[in-house]
Structure 1
Amino acid sequence: MSELKRVAKTLIAYLKRPDLYPELGRKIIKNTLHRGNAGKGKDKTNSWAISIAISQKDAVAKLFGINDLKFRNENKLILDESSGKEKTCPVKMGGAGALELIYYASEFTKATNVLETGVAYGWSSLAALLSLEKRNGTLYSSDMPYLGQNGDQYVGVVVPEKLKNNWKLFRFADKESLPKIFSENKIFDVIHYDSDKSYDGRIWAYDELYKHLRKGGVFLSDDIGDNSAYQDFCEENNIESTVIEFEGKYVGAFIK
């Protein structure tokens, strides 16, 4: 599909969803007036991340005191079944991410309430849910519909049916989803950010999410090397962050 056709198809999909008009307006502004902000501070943050990054295994040990990572062995059957679902999915979405980090953050905090932004195939959702089910906890997820891609029915495809009773999925942009989520639950044990990658989008979301993370809770953010939003947020709030190198990208993590 050509770029022009893709844009036209996406615009038509937006116009059919009045509830998404606020996000459409924000996207128009972001892609015109604020287009230059997307990668703001990228070089600075990548230099910072390279200088302090550690492996996911070392991060789990440092943050949570867990040295023996049994997650994949203990959940091999479910993970294999989920991998098969991803392979047969006709729509291409985001990769699996640092699953052990998400799972052990939930175990460390004995989480009963976890919030994530960004779902795609649902790998991060699966990692959180495998921990939450032990305590009958709830995962609240914000995920923008895949407009123009005919992919909505595949969001969360790797999550087994048996785990979905512990999952609440809000299909709006974060600025609409998060107020709805916070009206149901205000404080969270773990927050995982993996949605709007723009500088402005991240800064807004980090500030908002941080208010709802309990003391002792874990904050995770994917792809922090896209711009300096995460680094700037941590410096402005005197937060000492751990940076994890994962498959050529960087994840930020800290305990509040």
Structure 2
Amino acid sequence: MSEITRVLKTFIAYLKRPDLYPELGRKIIKNTINRNNAFKGKEKTNSWAASKAVSQQEAVSRLFGLEISNFRNSFQEVLKTAQQKEVECPVKMGGAGALELIYYACEFTHAGNVVETGVAYGWSSLAALLSLEKRSGTLYSSDMPYLAQDGDRYVGYVVPEYLKNSWKLFRFADKESLPKIFAENTDFDVVHYDSDKSYNGRFWAYNELYKHLRKGGAFISDDIGDNSAYQDFCEKNNIETTVVEYEGKYIGVFIK
């Protein structure tokens, strides 16, 4: 599919969904007027992140006092089945990411309520749900429909059916999903951000999510090297964050 065809198909798909018109307007502005802000401060933040980066194993040990070695063994069959489903899936989405970091954040906080932005295959959802299941907790997820990609049916594809009773999935952009989520629950034990990559989108969501994270809760953001939104947010709020280097990318994590 050519780029022009993809853009046209996506635009038509938006027009068929009046509930997504606010996000369509934001995307037009983001890709025209605010286009230069998308990667604002990227060089600065990558240098900063590199100077602080530790491994996922060290971060889990330092922040949560836990060892990550048991995760892969404890959930070997679940993870193996999930990997097979990803391979078989006809639509390609984001990869697994730092699953142990998410799982042990939930374990450390004894999480009963977790909110995440960005789902795709559902790897991060799976990691959170494997912990939440122990306490009959709930995962609230925000994920935009995969317009014009025929991928909607595969969102959360790797999450097994037995875990879905603990999962509430909101299929809108964050600016529409998060208010709906906060109307249902106001306090969260773990926050995981992995959606809108733009500077403005991140900075808005970070502030909203932080307000609803309880003291002692864990905040995680993927791909913080895309721009300086995470670094600027931490500096503005005097937050001492840990930075995890994972598969060539940087993840930010701190305890509130």
Structure 1 residues 26-41: aligned runs within 5 Å: 26-41=26-41
Structure 1 residues 40-51: aligned runs within 5 Å: 40-51=40-51
Letter in 2 for 1:217: G
Partners of 2:223 and 2:245 lie apart in 1 by: 10
Structure 1 residues 97-176: aligned runs within 5 Å: 97-176=97-176
Letter in 2 for 1:107: E
**Cα-to-partner distance string for 1:28-53 (whole Å, 9 max, x where unaligned):** 00000000000000000000011110
**Cα-to-partner distance string for 1:70-94 (whole Å, 9 max, x where unaligned):** 1110000000000000000000100
Corresponding residue number in structure 1 for 2:20: 20
Partners of 1:49 and 1:32 lie apart in 2 by: 29
Partners of 2:68 and 2:237 lie apart in 1 by: 32
Q: CA deviation at 1:68?
A: 4.9
Maintained 8 Å contact 2:116/2:142: yes
Give me the identity figure in percent: 77
Corresponding residue number in structure 1 for 2:81: 81
Letter in 2 for 1:162: Y
TM-score (norm 1): 0.99
**Cα-to-partner distance string for 1:82-125 (whole Å, 9 max, x where unaligned):** 00000000001001010000000000000000000000000000
Number of equivalent positions: 256
1:53 lines up with 2:53 in the alignment:
yes
Q: CA deviation at 1:194?
A: 0.2
Partners of 2:221 and 2:202 lie apart in 1 by: 10
Cα RMSD, aligned residues only: 0.5
TM-score (norm 2): 0.99
1:182 lines up with 2:207 in the alignment:
no
**Cα-to-partner distance string for 1:48-74 (whole Å, 9 max, x where unaligned):** 011110000000000000135211100
Corresponding residue number in structure 2 for 1:65: 65
Corresponding residue number in structure 2 for 1:10: 10
Letter in 2 for 1:237: N
- Structure 1's unaligned 5+ residue stretches are none
Partner SS for 1:231: helix
Letter in 1 for 2:200: D
Partner SS for 1:70: helix
1:214 lines up with 2:214 in the alignment:
yes
Corresponding residue number in structure 1 for 2:232: 232
Q: Would you identify which runs of 4 or more consecutive aligned residues in structure 1 move more than 4 Å?
A: none
Partners of 2:68 and 2:145 lie apart in 1 by: 37
Maintained 8 Å contact 2:60/2:68: no
- Structure 2's unaligned 5+ residue stretches are none
Letter in 2 for 1:206: Y
